[in-house]
Structures are given as C-alpha cells and as structure tokens.
Structure 1
C-alpha cells in the first residue's frame, strides 16, 4: 500500500493519518453507524421494509448513480480520479433493471435526492478529486453492507434474484479481493493528489447526504419507527 507523508506540526506531532483511506474511515466512523441505524436503510436491515419502499429507494438512488458514474467517466483520463474508475462497479443500469422487475412507475423523486445529485456534480467539477469520496462511500458500501441487505430483502420481501441486480456484480469474480484492490486504488489516488483534507471532508458530506436521503425516504414511504 502506498504510504503518504504525514503533516507534522511545530511540536513534531502528526496532524493527519498517513493514508487517504484511513483518514476517510476515521472521519466517517460515527456517520457510518448513524447511516446503518436510521432511515429507510435501517428499516430494510431490520426486515421491516416493503416492496413499495424498496422501489422508492431505488428510484431515488438511480439519478445519484447516474450522476456519479457520468462524472467518473468524464475524469477517466485523470491520473488521480481515473485510478478508481471501474465500470464493473457501475450500478445505474442494474437499478433501472430492478425498477422494471418491480413494475415501479410514477414514483416520487425527493428533493434530498436532487440535492445529492447536485453535490456529486459539484464534486466532479474542476479536478474531480472529490469524486473519490463519493465512490468510497457508495461503492465500498454496495460491496459490503449491500450484500447483507440483498440477503435480507430476498428473505423478507421474497424478492426474486432478477429484482436484486443492484447488489449483483457479475463482472467481479471475487468481491473480497476486489475490495482490497479498490482500496489500494483509492490509496494510490490519495498519494497522487494534494487536496487530501477536502476529499476527506467530502466523504463526510457524502455520508450525510446518504443519511438525509434515507431519513426522507423513511418518512415518504410511511415507515417511521
């Protein structure tokens, strides 16, 4: 793993972690717990969701992934952001397929999803380096907690395999190994850029956007408590 040079204060103490991944993980640790324990995500993890609620979640995540994937591809030639552009992770087509399987129509697009999309487009402006934070938040989540959600949804909602494409990665043969490779790519990207602190803060923003959307979706589908 590529080491980063730590910043040192006047007393010779380190002022930030040596790796981008470590810094993002530390900055979002509390937010990560909050994301799992609140909103529609928490309801799904507890097996208290409905097909309608899941469809509304997908409807609101679709433009988020479309924006993120479009911005990542736009920066595919970047020596920094390009390191984490992996089309096998792209989820927008899978989400659209799941919505078709669920025969989901005329579902609401919440303002919180629109805000999330705007934040991703802003992250993609300029160097595009803040996109590292959004890829870290969404894709590693899909490869980790998303696999747990898939099993719960299949059981609690009796969803067929064809309606769970969002959590399927047919082009990735070994998910644990791929996650390690992707973390390494994030580290290499972190070592090749200078906006370390702003990207770490963008990771916190990404988690907060997810939490806010999840809470809004919980209220919209009537799963409060």
Structure 2
C-alpha cells in the first residue's frame, strides 16, 4: 500500500504546479517585480497564519496535536519581517505602499477561523501544504528574493526555521508522522481533497496580488 505521504504528494502534484505557475510567483522569483511586493506577500501570509495557528491551537484532536511544534510557528517571524519592511507601527498605517490585504487572503483567513472541533482533515491538510511548503519551496523563495531585491535575512524571518534542525531530516520525520497517523478511509480522502484545494486557495492569493499590481482596482 502506498504511504499516505506519497499519496498526498501525488494527489496534489497538479494543483501544486498550477499554484507555482501563477504569474505573481514567476514574476517575483524572476526579479521582475520590486521589493515592496515581497512585503505585500509577507502581509498576506501574516493574515493567513494568524488564522491558521489560532485554529490549530483551538483543535485538541490528539492526532492533530502530534504535528504541533512551536518551532513551526510563523506569526512572530512574520510580525518581525513586516516591521523591517514597513516600520514600527505598520498595522496602524493606511493601506498604501503594498499594505493591502487581498480578497483571497481574507477569504482564506475567514475559512480557517470558521473551523470547529470536527475540522481535523481540513486543518491537517492545510498544515501539510503550508508548513511543508515553507520548509521546501519557501527556502528557494528566500534565496531568490534576497538575490534579486537586495534584501537581507532580517526581513525574511518567515522562511527561517532555526528551531527545527536539519530541514531534510525534519521533513522526513514529518512525512513519517503523516504515514503513521490513524485516519479512517473517509478522513484520508478528506485530507487529500482539502490539500489539493489548499494549493488552489493559495494560488488565488497570488492571482489577487498580481491583479492589484496591475491596477485592477482590487480594494485594500
């Protein structure tokens, strides 16, 4: 029988590629935007991770708690980064200079905030997509935006996981936990479905960022 972590990887491959091909991502990583757009992306992540980490903390299913690790928490790192990009007191500033929250990020955060006690499959799927993505492709993003936009690591704490040790070993152990978690057949199916949808949800954030960049009038 195929390991659950391998099922997840295979099931989400197309959605993952679709998200990576979003115009904002390709433009950002090619160095064709500006450093302000890095700050804009980090702001969307803060809105999402505040909601995600609150939902994870509120769900006491022991199967989900097995994935809980304070070293993964991203909110404090993102708050540090946004102070670097926008200055102290940035949350009270008007929504100019890339301080806009996209409709996609708002909708994602609202969806996470609505999760109740029976949301194991949904939260496990989003935990997998978000954190394993940050530990993997997020490291490439950090390297490229530093290269293209003259940023230092002090403004990219979001991508630094100093508390997890060697990234490959940590990711291998994470995948092993996925393989070991006790889920019913219907729960596994739900995790697979939610994980694929999570990539599409993230892609919408990128689409909104590019639309705002091109002056489509997305409200801030």
TM-score by length of 2: 0.86
Equivalent of residue 180 in structure 1, options 172, 178, 183: 172
1:89 alignment counterpart:
72
Q: Distance in 2 between the 1:123 and 1:22 partners?
A: 26
2:214 alignment partner in structure 1: 222
Match of 1:99 among 62, 65, 82: 82
For residues 21 and 88 of structure 1, the distance between their equivalents in structure 2, rounded to whole angstroms, comes to 21
- Residue equivalent to 2:189: 197
Whole-angstrom distance in 1 between the partners of 2:131 and 2:18:
18
2:101 equivalent among 98, 109, 123: 109
Deviations 1:8-28 (CA, angstroms, capped at 9, x unpaired): xxxxxxxxxx43322221221
Paired with 2:172 and 2:127, the residues of 1 have a C-alpha distance of 14
Q: Distance in 2 between matches of 1:140 and 1:199?
A: 15
1:71 aligns with 2:48: no
Which of 5, 15, 25 is the equivalent residue of 1:31?
15
CA RMSD for the aligned pairs?
A: 1.9
Evaluate the alpha carbon distance shift between residue 119 and residue 23 of structure 1 in structure 2; reply closer, same or farther with a 3 A threshold: farther
Is the Cα–Cα contact under 8 Å of residues 69 and 90 in structure 1 kept in the other structure? yes
Contact 2:52 2:113 in 1 (8 A): yes
The structure-2 alpha-carbon separation of the partners of 1:187 and 1:111, relative to structure 1 and needing over 3 Å to count, comes to: same
- Change in Cα spacing, 1:141 to 1:133, as seen in structure 2 (3 Å) is same
| TM score, norm. by length of structure 1 | 0.84
Q: Judging changes above 3 Å, is the alpha-carbon distance between structure 1 residues 127 and 111 closer, same or farther for their aligned structure 2 residues?
A: closer
Cα distance in 2, alignment partners of residues 143 and 124 from structure 1 = 27
Q: 2:163 aligns with which of 167, 171, 176?
A: 171
Structure 2 residue runs of 5 or longer lacking an equivalent are: none
Deviation at 1:51, TM superposition (A): 1.4
Contact conserved, 1:80 with 1:129, CA < 8 A, in 2? no
Structure 2 CA distance for aligned equivalents of residues 219 and 177 of structure 1: 38
Deviations 1:32-76 (A, max 9, x none): 11111113222222222311111111111111111111111222x
Q: 1:51 aligns with which of 35, 51, 55?
A: 35
Runs of 4+ in 1 over 6 A off after TM superposition: none
SS of residue matched to 2:163:
coil
Q: Secondary structure at the match of 2:62?
A: coil
2: CA distance between counterparts of 1:87 and 1:188? 21
